Amino acid sequence: MQNDRPMSTENAVLESKYNVTAWFYDILDYPWERQYRRWRPQLLRDVAQKVLEAGVGTGRNLRHYAPGVELTGIDLSSKMLAKARRRSRNAACAVELIREDATALTSCPESHFDWVVSFFLCCVMPDALQPLAVRQFERVLKPGGRFRLLEMVYSEDPALRRRQEYFAPFVEKVYGARFDRDTLQHVENSEKLRVTNTYFLKKDIYLVIEGNRLP
């Protein structure tokens, strides 16, 4: 399935960036992925039923979903999705992959998903677009449905922050990602989503935001 709806300039820029980055994404990301791959199974263990993974990327999460999951993975970049499609062969669950914009989700019905999962999407997404994505997550989640987001943020530790600031121009150029996005605030601003838990996976950099859609 393909969504051909026109998109914002920011998204068009991100899409072309990721269509290029896709060729070397897994190699470039390998040093970090060695860390992430320990977190992915633990973050996906309780995820069940109909699941939307927004910004599925090269499909690093796919093999960690339980067999009963019906997964819809969406991404702006067809080249990232092509990599995910190859990885979906190792998934234990049913997987549908769609080129789709998380700020529009035109192919996703209302109140359809039991879970929305998204790792390292919002740190890539400009703050101006994040309320649109949050609104879509509200719309497509069933009442009581759950969400789990994993994002990178700036550390409060001055030494760590200096290191992040050193890498920030590279991270933004290659991934479009920034450490200063206000994702937690955008989710907390939602009238329909309730944040029930936030915690860090490592130092105060890798932030997990969890919650549910109000009934």
Ligand X SMILES: C[S@@+](CC[C@H](N)C(=O)[O-])C[C@H]1O[C@@H](n2cnc3c(N)ncnc32)[C@H](O)[C@@H]1O
- Binding residues for ligand X, per CB under 6 A? 11, 14, 18, 54-57, 60, 74-77, 80, 101-103, 119-121, 124-125, 175, 177
In whole angstroms, the minimum distance from the beta carbon of 215 to ligand X comes to: 27
Q: How many CB atoms lie within 10 A of CB 13?
A: 12
Tokens of 164: 């992040």
- In angstroms, the CA 88 to CA 81 distance is 10
In whole angstroms, the minimum distance from the beta carbon of 8 to ligand X comes to: 9
- In angstroms, the CA 137 to CA 107 distance is 13
In whole angstroms, the minimum distance from the beta carbon of 27 to ligand X comes to: 13
Of 73 and 145, the one with the shorter C-beta distance to ligand X is 73
In whole angstroms, the minimum distance from the beta carbon of 162 to ligand X comes to: 23
Of 125 and 193, the one with the shorter C-beta distance to ligand X is 125
Closest residue to ligand X in the complex (CB): 57
The burial class, CB within 10 Å (0-12 / 13-18 / 19+), for 142 is middle
48 and 115 in contact (C-beta within 8 Å)?
A: yes
Of 102 and 209, the one with the shorter C-beta distance to ligand X is 102
- In angstroms, the CA 48 to CA 37 distance is 19
Of 93 and 125, the one with the shorter C-beta distance to ligand X is 125
In whole angstroms, the minimum distance from the beta carbon of 46 to ligand X comes to: 18
Of 65 and 120, the one with the shorter C-beta distance to ligand X is 120
- Which residues are within 8 A (CB) of 187 and not within 5 positions of it... i.e. 6 or more apart? 134, 149, 193, 195, 209, 211
